[in-house]
Copies of this chain bind each other. A is one copy, B any other.
Amino acid sequence: MASRINRKIVLVKRPTGEVTPDCLELASEPAPEPKEGEALVRNLYLSLDPTQQGWMKYDSYMPAIPLGEVVRSGGVGEVIESRSPLYTKGQLVSGLVGWQEYALADGGGRRMQVVPPGISAEDAVSVFGITGLTAYFGLLDVGKPKAGETVVVSGAAGATGSVVGQIAKIVGCRVVGIAGGPEKCRWLVSELGFDAAVDYKREDVGQALAAACPKGVDVYFDNVGGEILDAVLLQINRGARISLCGAISTYTHETPPPGPRHLIQLVVKHGHMEGFLVLDYAARFPEAIAAMVKWKAEGKLRSKVDVVDGLENTPAAYRRLFTGGNVGKLLVRVG
């Protein structure tokens, strides 16, 4: 067997604010040979997620990525060789494959999920992957929307936000998305069925939200933090729920910027703010995937991916996450 070359993106320097090009390096090595109990996976799509910048920087809910090692990343690939009873050659599997061309799967720390037949590689790593699961649990379990309520989501044209809004519509809510630029806003309303969209780059978010939410805000799914969180706090209804998924507006700062000025609104309105990590819900992933597969088959849930070709383009693509440059789930297709 001709020895395969595994190209990979390695973390060589810890970013402090932005993930600058000097933090990452393209490297090559012989692809690993699967040992007994392992399978070799050829990666098809790599997932680009805001949370990875935290993994590059510090220990948190996962240890920091060690310097000199491949960047930890979700993704999906095809089993091309298996010495494990868990995996069969030709199967699609998803998991923490890393920003590289080949990965090893095993039954322990490198366990991957077999993608059920009928689910495409793209969907497995977007709407039915961590992204969609984040939307599902963060909205339904943390936000607890009821039919007739108003749900606002920021980062609405992003991977998670676009799924959040669609699920909120399925539940029977009025849905308002906050996104940057007229194109994204049009897409939310005309393609995804949002009731309204606020263009934070061109509108006064407070005024536009007030117009789009005449009955106030019952649930806010927050992907961005910062000033937009503040603007929404001023519009919440009594008993509102704020589901904190992330705060992408703060991730490129070297130290976290100051937070919202209007937390006192939580007191006056008896509001709840709750953060979550999708891994908190791991035991319930099958329930969520089953629901979302059904919604997709019924045409109620659309998946949108933004695909960049070539492993070597991963670092540049990653920076687009923080400049509002992507619509839907940002993926790298591995050459």
Contacts and interface: CB of A to CB of B under 8 A. Distances in A.
28 contacts: A61-B268, A225-B263, A230-B259, A244-B263, A244-B264, A244-B266, A245-B267, A246-B267, A247-B264, A247-B267, A250-B264, A255-B261, A256-B261, A256-B262, A257-B261, A258-B261, A263-B273, A265-B275, A266-B275, A267-B275, A267-B276, A268-B275, A268-B277, A270-B277, A270-B280, A271-B275, A273-B273, A273-B274
A272 interface: yes
Nearest to A246: B267
Interface in A280-326: 280
A108 B271 CA distance: 29
Contacts of A244: 263-264, 266-267
B277 A274 contact: no
Interface of A: 60-61, 225, 230, 244-247, 250, 255-277, 280
| This chain's copy number in the assembly | 2
A41 to B, nearest CB: 29
Contact of A271 (B61, B268, B274): B274
B264 A256 contact: yes
